[in-house]
Amino acid sequence: NAGVTQTPKFQVLKTGQSMTLQCAQDMNHEYMSWYRQDPGMGLRLIHYSVGAGITDQGEVPNGYNVSRSTTEDFPLRLLSAAPSQTSVYFCASSYGGNTEAFFGQGTRLTVV
Amino acid sequence: AQSVTQLDSHVSVSEGTPVLLRCNYSSSYSPSLFWYVQHPNKGLQLLLKYTSAATLVKGINGFEAEFKKSETSFHLTKPSAHMGDAAEYFCVVSENYQLIWGAGTKLIIKP
């Protein structure tokens, strides 16, 4: 049972570089989302998707792009990395927005 | 707009004593409520969820939570703490396809 798979687990970027965090789920969930976790702040929603071809912004979307071309995949793109984007990123999926979310193991990103 | 307040950033208890982690929420509608746990350097795991059925919800590892609409609270309890319960706990409210997270409570277990 793969569940939600995130890659990479760790990444160091230089300011201004771009990269894509990958997220895939094999549970046929319609709803997928990306969060960032910073100390003392819980998880904050970056972007979410309620199905293939549909995405929307969450609480902290600036500096990030997403797309949802298939039900399984929901990549997060950092356009031009900044030190303020140093964080732990989690991808999640669920049947719906009000149901249990299943999380990937997280990506620890450092921007120097 | 919905919000979640976890009233304690840290809770320290001795092994074998009860645990109480407090959570208050605000919500415009009938919310779904969750507690998640995160062990050090690990991912997030669902402990329990409330979705408008029984107000007392039982979860994994002996945890339970009681939904009190009049107090807008959803406190997490466990009768007897174990060393393995040391982790960070998050209270979450769900509305309209969005999960709103509390800031977390770090549970410390003293031997």
In a structure prediction context, what are the per-residue pLDDT tens digits for chain B, which is 111 residues long?
678 999 999 999 999 999 999 999 987 677 889 999 999 878 899 999 998 778 899 999 999 999 998 899 999 999 999 999 999 999 999 877 778 899 999 999 999
Predicted pLDDT at A1: 65
Distance from CA of B79 to the nearest CA of A (A): 25
For the stretch A57-66, pLDDT in tens is 999 999 999 9
B97 and A100 in contact by Cβ < 8 A? no
Q: What are B1's two structure tokens?
A: 């707009």
Question: Does A96 contact B at CB distance below 8 Å?
Answer: yes
Residues of B in contact with A35 (CB under 8 A): 101
Q: CA dihedral defined by B37, B39, B42, B44, rounded to 10 degrees?
A: 0
B32 and A98 in contact by Cβ < 8 A? yes
Short-list A36, A28, A30, CA closest to A85: A36
Question: Does A50 contact B at CB distance below 8 Å?
Answer: yes
Kindly report the length of chain B.
111
What is the number of alpha carbons within 13 Å of residue A53 lying toward its C-beta?
0
Predicted pLDDT at A25: 97
B98 and A45 in contact by Cβ < 8 A? yes
Query: In this complex, which of A42, A97, A105 lies closest to B94 when CB atoms are compared?
Result: A97
A100 and B99 in contact by Cβ < 8 A? no
Question: Does A2 contact B at CB distance below 8 Å?
Answer: no
Binning pLDDT at 50, 70 and 90, where does residue A48 land? very high
Distance CA B50, CA B32 (A): 6
Q: Are A43 and B101 in contact (CB under 8 A)?
A: yes
Short-list B25, B33, B21, B22, CA closest to B86: B21
Check whether A84 has a pLDDT greater than 80: yes
Query: In this complex, which of B43, B94, B103 lies closest to A40 when CB atoms are compared?
Result: B103
Q: Are A45 and B99 in contact (CB under 8 A)?
A: yes
B99 and A42 in contact by Cβ < 8 A? no
Q: How many whole angstroms from its chain centre is CA A97?
A: 15
